Amino acid sequence: MTKALKTLVPHLTLVPSSQTQQSQLQDLRFAPPSVLHLRDGEVIVYRRPNTPVWQCRFKRQDGSWHRQTNKQASIEYAVRVACELYDESRFHQRPGLE
């Protein structure tokens, strides 16, 4: 610890970490996000508490939000399904089919 830091925080002492603590920290993985924003925020993929499947919502052209389950537990597949649902919805809205 430097002298300047000791004068600022005199009661702080550094405790050397053991090798087991360092190896445990290296084994940690990042938790997957609970919310993903896709397509400039137009499509949102999220997971509700106590459910293994992902949900999605996206904004329609009229400004309303459409919510639907992806029925996917994997985030990779959930993102793909959400983008396909969004693209299909946009396709049907263009000619006024929906």
Domain boundaries, the chain: 3-93
Q: Of 42 and 10, which is predicted with more confidence?
A: 42
Q: Is 47 helix (H, G, I), strand (E, B) or coil?
A: strand
Q: Is 71 helix (H, G, I), strand (E, B) or coil?
A: coil
- The predicted-structure confidence for 26-85, as pLDDT tens digits, reads as follows 777 777 788 999 999 899 999 988 889 999 999 888 889 999 999 999 999 999 999 999
Beta bridge partners of 36: 45
Q: pTM for the full model?
A: 0.64
- Of 70, 31, 34, the closest CA to residue 53 belongs to 70
Residue 33 per-residue DSSP state: P
